[in-house]
Chain A
Amino acid sequence: MSKVVAELKYSAEHEWVAADGAGPVGIGISAVAADALGDIVYVDLPEVGSTVTAGETCGEVESTKSVSDLYAPVTGEVVEINDEVVSDPALINSDPYGAGWLFKVAVTEEGPLMSAEEYAATNGGEL
């Protein structure tokens, strides 16, 4: 699997944002970040109905080696979280852009985001 998916946008903190259409956007962490974290064993997500603010922490991702903050790449209301990834956080390692998605936000404002090319160039990932 390629480490950076072309159709997505990325934050400097390694979250990806699905760029499609007007509805709520899916958010996850990049394969580059999932790899660096190691095997993920716990994820703490924002609650449905809460508001996240671009650039601020909204949860935690814990691997066997370390714990890292999760940063919201956009501002808006959380409309859905991925319950499967909460019970099986290893999905973030095995399928970070698919089954390992984290939550969806009705976006009111995007944070600073990079294109896949820009993100790949700054993080040594392959497109």
Chain B
Amino acid sequence: MTENYTALYEEHKKAGASFTDFGGWQMPLKYASELSEHHAVRNASGLFDLSHMGEVWVTGPDAAAFLDYALAGKLSAVAVGKAKYSLICQEDGGIIDDLISYRRADDTYLVVPNAGNAVVVAAALAERARSGKEGGFDVTVEDVSAQTSLIAVQGPNAEAILLTLVPAEQHSLVTELKYYAAVEVEINGQELLLARTGYTGEDGFEIYVPNEDAAGLWEALLETGAGHGLIPAGLACRDSLRLEAGMPLYGNELSREGNPYAAGLGPVVSLAKESDFIGKAALSELKTAGAGSTTGRKLVGLKGLGRRAGRGHYPVLKDGNVVGEVTSGQPSPTLGYPIAMAYVDVEFTEPGTALDIDLRGKAEPFEVVALPFYKRQK
């Protein structure tokens, strides 16, 4: 597999990062200690390179109608300036990816898929635009992932840090920016798209920046953020942060074999929207059949009662019988006990249910708990 490098690769090397392959990209796993990076994001702020994520512009008179057809959510109902979490599904309801779509104008959306899925999602969107209706939808699908970097500042100090790089007359654009909204702001002397979104369970921002300007912005943020406790943070803590926040990771909790109802993402699927969309028939059947509520398995949170953590693919047991499988798990740095997400047979998903995780032959006690594991104080 060809390795991709983000425009910030040299910055990470300078900062002493160790690297890992993620979705075909060489990404910083950690700089010094993933635990200190995790705590920095919870208590101060962390700086993430997310340039491996995809960016696909969908523009044209049919943009809203097209995304209503191509995605599971009702994107036409999103106000300009706002964003929406959605899914792109197969005809059988299987999940191709989860994504965030930003409506930038009546006829303009920015769709952000996961790193490993960016090419597949861009291709699926282009294909659906061609074949979705007689003569095709009147839209242009443009994948700008290769030219675009994405830098996230996450944590309670994120806003204060960002404001130091924004001219005073634009401060209110930042301070009044709502969660899941985006705005064009001058940051470090350059007009950039700023979103109040994240994958950590903390307040935070994501900044879209052309590759050639990414290193300059990264360095400026590190410099101005140092006084606010900002440190670079790698994928290892990104994973522990999102797990504590109960957020699914494509490839762990979400897959083509799974479905939105089992994953607890039923509300993301808009069966009520007037138009047809890809996967609607199958998803409608799944819902009627009670997928994730009365039949099959459902994604739950598990809290460890001992010290040992469950890991992906470990079996979940009830009285020694396999009733599920762990999708993600590790010791929670914030909470101090092991946490896991797992697909479990629906009859054993009531919070408080005692289950075990098979830790390589040893049954370790866990308990079903409501997600998320961690919620920040507002």
A interface residues (Cβ-Cβ under 8 A, vs B): 35, 38-39, 41-42, 62, 64-67, 93
Interface assignment of B190: CB less than 8 Å from any CB of chain A: no
What distance in Å separates the Cβ of A47 from its nearest Cβ neighbour in chain B?
16
> B34 to A65, Cβ gap below 8 A?
yes
> A39 to B34, Cβ gap below 8 A?
yes
| Segment of B98-106, B180-188, B307-315, B370-378 engaged in the interface with chain A | B307-315
Chain B, 234-247, contact with A by CB distance < 8 Å: what is the 0/1 string? Answer: 00100110000000
> B309 to A38, Cβ gap below 8 A?
no
> A39 to B33, Cβ gap below 8 A?
yes
> A64 to B308, Cβ gap below 8 A?
no
> B307 to A64, Cβ gap below 8 A?
no
What CA separation (Å) do A41 and B329 show in the bound complex?
14
Residue of A nearest to B38 (CB): A64
Cβ contact of A38, chosen from B34, B307, B311, B360, cutoff 8 A:
B34
> B33 to A62, Cβ gap below 8 A?
no
> A42 to B331, Cβ gap below 8 A?
yes
> B236 to A93, Cβ gap below 8 A?
no
> B33 to A67, Cβ gap below 8 A?
no
What CA separation (Å) do A48 and B18 show in the bound complex?
36
Interface assignment of B193: CB less than 8 Å from any CB of chain A: no
- The count of A-to-B residue pairs whose CB atoms sit within 8 angstroms is 34
> A35 to chain B: which residues have CB within 8 Å?
18
B-side binding surface: helix, strand, loop or mixed? mixed
> B18 to A64, Cβ gap below 8 A?
no
> A38 to chain B: which residues have CB within 8 Å?
29-30, 33-34, 236
Residue of B nearest to A38 (CB): B34
> A39 to chain B: which residues have CB within 8 Å?
33-35
> B229 to chain A: which residues have CB within 8 Å?
none
> B18 to chain A: which residues have CB within 8 Å?
35
> A93 to B307, Cβ gap below 8 A?
no
> A64 to B236, Cβ gap below 8 A?
yes
What CA separation (Å) do A93 and B34 show in the bound complex?
12
> A93 to B308, Cβ gap below 8 A?
no
Interface assignment of B330: CB less than 8 Å from any CB of chain A: yes
What distance in Å separates the Cβ of A39 from its nearest Cβ neighbour in chain B?
4
Q: 9 tightest CB-CB pairs across the interface, nearest first?
A: A39-B35, A41-B331, A38-B34, A64-B330, A39-B33, A42-B307, A39-B34, A64-B34, A65-B236
Task: List residues 279-320 of chain B with CB under 8 A from any CB of chain A.
Answer: 307-309, 311
Question: Are A66 and B311 also in contact (CB < 8 A) when A35-B18, A38-B236, A41-B331 are?
Answer: yes
Question: Are A62 and B34 also in contact (CB < 8 A) when A38-B236, A41-B331, A42-B331 are?
Answer: no
> A64 to B333, Cβ gap below 8 A?
yes
Q: A42-B309, A64-B35, A65-B239 are in contact. List 20 more A-B contacts (CB 8 A).
A: A35-B18, A38-B30, A38-B33, A38-B236, A39-B33, A39-B34, A39-B35, A42-B307, A42-B308, A42-B331, A62-B309, A64-B34, A64-B236, A64-B333, A65-B236, A65-B330, A66-B311, A67-B311, A67-B360, A93-B33
Residue of B nearest to A94 (CB): B33
Task: List residues 1-45 of chain B with CB under 8 A from any CB of chain A.
Answer: 18, 29-30, 33-35, 38
What CA separation (Å) do A64 and B236 show in the bound complex?
8
Question: Are A64 and B311 also in contact (CB < 8 A) when A38-B34, A41-B331 are?
Answer: no
User: What are 30 A-B interface contacts by the 8 Å CB criterion?
Assistant: A35-B18, A38-B29, A38-B30, A38-B33, A38-B34, A38-B236, A39-B33, A39-B34, A39-B35, A42-B308, A42-B309, A42-B331, A62-B308, A62-B309, A62-B331, A64-B34, A64-B35, A64-B38, A64-B236, A64-B240, A64-B331, A64-B333, A65-B236, A65-B239, A65-B330, A66-B311, A67-B309, A67-B311, A67-B360, A93-B33
